[in-house]
Amino acid sequence: MDKNTGKQLYEIAFLATPSLVEGEVLDFLQKIKNEAQSLGALIEDEGTIEKIRLSYPIKKQTEANFGNFKFTLENEKIETLNSKIKSDPKILRLICVKSVRAPQRQISTKPFRQTPFEIKPVQGWSAPNEKEEPAANVEEIDKKLEEILGK
């Protein structure tokens, strides 16, 4: 809630009759926004409206147009807005809830620093103590092979 203005952020979500065609649906959403603005609301998020299938029938309807938008308004005027919108026969269901602004995601400006990879030995295990011998030349290898083979 803004302490200076006494306004609260709200979100309205509603189900409207499916008999509205595409152009009428957008006009209906605009009509609801205009009613909110007539009471002094500031529209924060325009919202959308789309046709959905309902999980269970509401007023004998199995489909509806779902719409929503966010706005700021004084606490005293929210009941007036609810009653105005609910009185419209095209509204199947309506809910108006207090909302909160999503916090701004902070972007880190620090450069990425990779820590050096460290190998830790496993307890109770030691690496073999073999030393690598330098590669011998071909003649020495031949001599050793002759000794082993007995030639």
The predicted-structure confidence for 19-60, as pLDDT tens digits, reads as follows 888 788 888 888 989 998 999 889 888 888 889 999 998 888
Tell me what the mean pLDDT of segment 5-25 comes to.
86
- Closest C-alpha to 71, from 93, 40, 92, 102: 40
Length of the chain: 151
Which helix (DSSP H) or strand (DSSP E) does residue 49 occupy? strand 49-58
The predicted-structure confidence for 86-135, as pLDDT tens digits, reads as follows 999 999 999 999 888 777 777 767 666 666 666 676 676 666 665 656 66
The pLDDT, as a whole number, for residue 115 is 67
Superfamily of domain 7-98: Ribosomal protein S6/Translation elongation factor EF1B (3.30.70.60)
Would you give the DSSP letter of residue 29? H
pTM of the complete model: 0.61
How do the domains of the chain map onto residue ranges?
Answer: 7-98
